[in-house]
Amino acid sequence: MAASPVTATVDFAARGKQFGHLRVPHSRNDHGWAVIPIPIVVIANGTGATVLLSAGNHGDEYEGQVALLDLARTLDPGQLQGRVILLPAMHFPAALAGTRLSPLDNRDFNRCFPGDPFGSFAFVLAHYVDSVLLALCDFQMDLHSGGTGMDIIASACGHVLDDAGQQAKTLAMADAFGAPITLLLREVNAGPTLLAAAERRGIVALSSELGGGGRLNPDNYRITRRGAENVLRHAGVLEGPPRHDRPPRRMTVPSLDHYVIAPEAGIFQADHRLGADVRKGEVAGRLHFIEKPDRAPLELSYGAGGLLWCTRHVGRVQAGDPVAVIAVDL
């Protein structure tokens, strides 16, 4: 594939702390040579692993964005052995807008990997992140939460992998992050995600779910900020062991039967709070149809029992929307 048109104002080989930008071409009606500058921070010292920490993949997920801003300001290069690359607002147009999708091309950045240097803005950026930044990395973590639409129990997440060795490394880093739950996920359409791109390169890689509802949750912020440093300790870039309150609970979402999906559009009324223990076949909630007052609500039930790990935050749902996701112990 062709080289990326993206350029960086930082030197990835230099030591010390650099605040700079990735310049991603974005042609407009009034300027054909315009670029969108995406903030990047590189902090390096001595020799050791390279860790990429990113947030703002989805612009309406805030814990990671603020945690990485704080890490960028406070991390002292003298403390490090290795290199830390921080992208606090990776999909910058979406992060500025506070939206999941890009206001430029309406793309979900986390469905654009491995990207395309001749594609739209999100594809060009994804291609750079994959072919240039991931190529530098030993460890990578992309900080997500439930965004505007979902509420999720704070979790460090990896995919269910075929390679047992890579799976063990993923679990070890997720435990080191130190969220209440370490979770292995079978995801709807995992292939074009950043996490899958990192896995294809053999990088020890994680995502996360750290709250949601379109807000910055203070408890989950503390987990995220501590977790980001814990990943650096796990990679040997910072000294000392990861710091935890208690060991994470290892869980998995083993199949799509663990998702409750709305078969029609309507207003979803959940029967349970996030974190409830639920049984297979139990009513998960009801869909209401305001356009048909004579129609009874439609009951939706759980296809599997376990912990209600993720719930719909916004009341109105479309046909095909997951309204609940169940996790079970690994």
| Closer to Zn ion by Cβ: residue 26 or 91 | 91
The least distance separating Zn ion from the CB of residue 57, rounded to whole angstroms, comes to 6
Calculated CA dihedral for residues 65, 148, 111, 317, nearest 10 degrees: 170
Position 91 contacts Zn ion (CB under 5 A): no
Site track for Zn ion across 29-68, x = CB under 5 A: -----------------------------x--x-------
Helix axes 218-234, 164-177, angle to 10 degrees: 130
The least distance separating Zn ion from the CB of residue 149, rounded to whole angstroms, comes to 10
| Closer to Zn ion by Cβ: residue 105 or 138 | 105
| Closer to Zn ion by Cβ: residue 4 or 155 | 155
Rounded Cα distance between 90 and 88, Å, is 6
276-315 residues in contact with Zn ion (CB under 5 A) are none
Run of H or E including 5: none
Identity of the amino acid at 275: G
| Closer to Zn ion by Cβ: residue 61 or 175 | 61
The least distance separating Zn ion from the CB of residue 186, rounded to whole angstroms, comes to 17
Pairing of strands 306-312, 204-209: unpaired
259-278 residues in contact with Zn ion (CB under 5 A) are none
Question: How many CA within 13 A on the CB side of residue 201?
Answer: 22
The least distance separating Zn ion from the CB of residue 175, rounded to whole angstroms, comes to 21
104-163 residues in contact with Zn ion (CB under 5 A) are 144
Rounded Cα distance between 72 and 66, Å, is 10
| Closer to Zn ion by Cβ: residue 145 or 170 | 145
| Closer to Zn ion by Cβ: residue 58 or 312 | 58
Binding residues for Zn ion, how many (CB under 5 A)? 3
Kindly provide the b/e burial profile for residues 247-279, where b requires at least 16 CB atoms within 10 angstroms of the residue's own CB: ebbebbbbeeebbbbbeeebebebbbebeeebe
Binding positions for Zn ion, rule: CB under 5 A? 58, 61, 144
